Structure 1
């Protein structure tokens, strides 16, 4: 790694370090410049001359960075507004404040909401196949009638979240804590809740092929699951 080149780019991009898209741009630009620098040195240029020639190829990047920043600000200004019926496939929404956002009837396949605040957000009838919510706050969020196959929820907050009539087959919810969460009429075949904690959770759906090994739950949740013939031989009731 060329420390001088890295320090140069760090200085240019320092005002934008909190923007994930700008960080990705910097990483891509560094790799391209490093390759250019190596090529020049192989052509016989001295280190200092090759460095200056490499820097000169950057050109004016402020406009590009500013464009990314403007798009991010426009998205942030829509907090609480309606994104419904939008094509947002593979969107990078990491670490965003999207409280009260509406994403109903959206195509969000492969989108990344990791570490975002999605409190009170709505995802009704949306495609969230292979989406990521790792570390996100999904308190009181609504995912009714949505496709969530392949979605990731590691370290999520799922207090009073509704997954009513949604497709969650094969999704991993291991080690998570559920308070007042609703899974009624959802597809949960092959889903895993190993070592999860349940308080006042509703599972009025087919749970015979769901893994609850090592889970801890209150008596009400246990009664609902037992009524729907879940395998509860390795759970703890408190």
Structure 2
């Protein structure tokens, strides 16, 4: 019966985005309702009746959920926030929207920016080792002279993103569409671009140890990479 109670809560919360405050509320409700259902069973009610009485006791929670949901979204809609010189390592920053934000000279090691919108934000001289940017919008973001070793960019939008002078050792850009992305003077040891699409991408840096197997690129990007020693035997030029 606890499974049915969990199913009920999952359904109740399913229409809202998966924001951390809602997840915490759902878990707290689940624990409290489990205890209440057990109390009903101790009083002699059968499983089905105890479950229904527990659900009925919840009352109307949609207003509470909506209010937390709105507050969380408002907190996440931020323009121009300055978090420079901050120690934010291993922070949960999933789904935040920070346009024109400043994260300069900050420790963001292991922080999770998955699904975030960081359009036009600046990360200068910051530690982003093992940071997670999966499915984030990083359009025109600037990662200048930052440590991005081991960072994850799965499913990212990287239109016009600037990685100049940054350490991108062992980072995967596999399968991404890179349009106007800048890698000038970046460290690309073991960096992979397998099956990616590269359009007007700037690689004014040594690219001998980067991997481009299966990539598709325009003629200019191909010529730049050739000039910087990249190995390009299995790429398609369009």
TM-score (norm 1): 0.79
Q: Distance in 2 between matches of 1:226 and 1:14?
A: 50
Q: Distance in 2 between matches of 1:30 and 1:67?
A: 14
Contact kept in structure 1, 2:202 and 2:221, CA below 8 Å: yes
Distance 1:197 1:10, change over 3 A: closer
Q: Distance in 1 between matches of 2:100 and 2:6?
A: 42
Distance 1:156 1:49, change over 3 A: closer
What residue is the counterpart of 1:228 in the other structure? 228
Structure 1 unaligned segments of length 5 or more: list them: 57-61
Distance 1:221 1:44, change over 3 A: same
Q: Distance in 2 between matches of 1:116 and 1:163?
A: 18
Aligned length: 232
**Displacement over 6 Å in runs of 4+:** 41-44, 50-56, 65-69
Distance 1:75 1:106, change over 3 A: farther
Q: Does 1:142 align with 2:152?
A: no
Alignment of 1:1-238 (within 5 A): 1-4=2-5, 7=8, 17-18=16-17, 20-29=19-28, 32-33=31-32, 36=35, 46=45, 47=47, 48=49, 73-76=74-77, 78-238=78-238
Normalized per residue, which structure has more strand?
Answer: 2
Q: Distance in 2 between matches of 1:114 and 1:10?
A: 24
What residue is the counterpart of 1:59 in the other structure? none
- Secondary structure at 1:143 match in 2: strand
User: Aligned-residue CA RMSD in angstroms?
Assistant: 3.5
TM-score (norm 2): 0.79
